[in-house]
Amino acid sequence: MPTTAMNGYDLFQHLGVSPVINASGIYTDLGGSRLSPKAWAAAEAINNHFVRMTDLLDKSGERIAELLGVEAARITPGAAAAIFLGTAACLAGNDGDKSQQLPDVTGMKRDVLIQAGHRYKYDRQVAMTGAALREVGSQNGTRPDQLEAAIGECTAAILHPAHLDGKPGTLTLEQVVKIARARGVPVIVDAAYMNYPTSIMGDYARRGADLVCISAKYFGGPNAGGFIMGRKDLIQAVSNVHFTRYESGKYLKLGRPLKMDRQTIIAVLVALEEWLAMDHEARFASYRRQVAMLEQRLSGLMGLKAEPKCFTMDERFIDEPVNCLLLTFDGKSAPQVARQLEESSPPIIAILEGDKIGIVMDVLKDDEVTYIGDRLVEVMSE
Ligand SMILES: *Cc1c(COP(=O)(O)O)cnc(C)c1O
């Protein structure tokens, strides 16, 4: 395939896949985010050089810990990987034999607790290590005495999803930490998208979480990037279960399939540095400008109502900060319009929710917003 002469669009076409216009925001299935020119340039620059991966992982982790004001950190291939590796670190500690024995948990602490009201899609990563996920309390809630009673000899960790922290009936992170600390049980927080305001990224560790999992897809990093941060001994234990020194060391470590490229590692670090230094007000202003652009293009169209909204990371439409235009229809059905957008060439993938369509600006360029506006005008006049 004559790749050098081709742009991205041609490359996709040559393979027989269609590039899509991503009006949905950051989704793993759509490729995550768009790497910034700086992150891309860093990945390209490092492509020319080799490095000991152990050194790169140690030093990039130290740099992240310094940036976020936490004890230690380590880059992982995503937040789901961070949950998996963090759990395995709580099972095996710094014991190489145990890292090799996993996912057979015989003789190890092997239970990971989760409040029943906190069950969510990514808790599945826990069981992949060999650990057993045990629910505490009921859907209606969990009481402190229930969590205390659930902790035993075999308890390896507690998983606490940050986006469900404070859910009515459930114990808050502070309550969980207090109980867990007294029993020496680490608390793992999934804070995959908790990155704005940027100070909250390090806050979970400061609030007592022992390990915190972050996804790079949400801060403009690689789709297969992220990191874990927290207690130094546990981050050390993460390296004991991750992919390096599999051939050269003594142990066949559990995390070998979660290998990383040096280019990805550097892109995670550069994207994080950019995210922390970014003028986020300007980022929001840019979404508002694009929303206004689209609203203007659609103004006066019969049968369509457009409202600036915020499409949140947990997939709800709220008022602020605006990053999306929410469309409702009179005379057409939203699923029908969504289908027509998807059948466009190139296809437009928007958020369809009930009788509404959301056009989300998070990763759209201006010319793509113009294209979406033009298509919507055509669709509405059909
Ligand atoms: C996306 C996401 C993950 C997984 O992150 P990856 O970096 O894609 O592995 C985990 N938890 C939550 C809440 C997420 O939204």
Q: How many CB atoms are located within 10 Å of the residue 298 CB?
A: 19
DSSP structure class, residue 122: G
**By three-state DSSP, how is residue 229 classified?**
strand
State in Å: Cα 192 to ligand 1 middle. Answer: 5
Contact residues of ligand 1, CB 6 A cut-off: 28, 78-81, 122, 163, 190, 192-193, 215, 217, 226
State in Å: Cα 210 to ligand 1 middle. Answer: 19
Q: Identify the residue with better confidence: 1 or 222.
A: 222
Q: Identify the residue with better confidence: 260 or 381.
A: 260
Residue with CA at minimum distance from ligand 1 atom 14? 192
Q: Which residues contact 218 (CB under 8 A, 6 or more apart)?
A: 26, 33, 192, 193, 195, 313
Q: Taking 60 as the threshold, does the pLDDT of residue 299 lie above it? A: yes
**By three-state DSSP, how is residue 154 classified?**
coil
Q: Identify the residue with better confidence: 8 or 192.
A: 192
pLDDT tens digits, 245-291: 999 999 999 999 999 999 999 999 999 999 999 999 999 999 999 99
**Distance of alpha carbon 88 from alpha carbon 134, whole angstroms:** 16
Residue with CA at minimum distance from ligand 1 atom 7? 78
Predicted local confidence at residue 1, as pLDDT:
42
pLDDT tens digits, 43-61: 999 999 999 999 999 999 9
DSSP 323-355: -EEEEEESSS-HHHHHHHHHTSSS-EEEEEETT
**Distance of alpha carbon 13 from alpha carbon 8, whole angstroms:** 9
Residue with CA at minimum distance from ligand 1 atom 2? 192
Q: Taking 50 as the threshold, does the pLDDT of residue 194 lie above it? A: yes
State in Å: Cα 80 to ligand 1 middle. Answer: 6
> Residue 304 in contact with residue 380, Cβ under 8 Å?
yes
**Distance of alpha carbon 59 from alpha carbon 54, whole angstroms:** 9
Q: Taking 90 as the threshold, does the pLDDT of residue 12 lie above it? A: no
pLDDT tens digits, 303-334: 999 999 999 999 999 999 999 999 999 989 99
Q: How many CA atoms lie within 13 A of 278 on its CB side?
A: 23
State in Å: Cα 83 to ligand 1 middle. Answer: 9
Spell out the domains of the chain, with CATH numbers in brackets.
11-31+279-381 (3.90.1150.180), 37-277 (3.40.640.10)
Residue with CA at minimum distance from ligand 1 atom 12? 192
